[in-house]
Structure 1
Amino acid sequence: MFSAVRWTAHGVLLDLLSTALAVGIAGVAVTRPRLLAAPGWALPLRRLQSGHVGDYVAWLLVGVTLLGALALPGVLG
């Protein structure tokens, strides 16, 4: 029913690579924030998110609705 979990060299290398990339991107974000800053065309989108809890709820509902609309043809067909 359940198979034993095995570590492979390939899996371990991918895990280490993912961790190194995450640490590298975080380091760049801390030391050079302008390098990863949002481009100028994204400023109107940033104004839509003020950081209030209601904004997070609204964007969550927008995302769930969009995902539901995209999945609906697969569910019905």
Structure 2
Amino acid sequence: MAVGLAALAVTRPKLLGEQRWTEPLRHLQSGYIGDYVAWLLAGATLLGALALPGVLGG
């Protein structure tokens, strides 16, 4: 499904259109390398925090 939506967005961008709710998401990810590093660290921290109770309790 993700590949299909990506292909649709690339081939016919006007069909999906620019939505107002996507504006804040676009500001969070500007494409700079620092953004990628920040999101990687945020995701790793979240996964670590979710796994911590299982590691300590197990």
User: Structure 1 length normalisation: TM-score?
Assistant: 0.56
RMSD: 2.4
* Structure 1, unpaired ranges of 5+: 1-17
Specify the alignment match of 1:75 in structure 2: 55
The answer to whether the aligner puts 1:32 opposite 2:17 as a matched pair is no
More helix, by proportion: 2
Pairs aligned (count)? 55
Paired position in structure 2 for 1:6: none
TM-score by length of 2: 0.70
Identity of aligned residues (%): 67
Q: Answer with 1 or 2: which has the greater Rg.
A: 1
Which ranges in structure 2 are unaligned for 5 or more consecutive residues? none
- Larger relative contact order (CA 8 Å, sep ≥ 6): 2
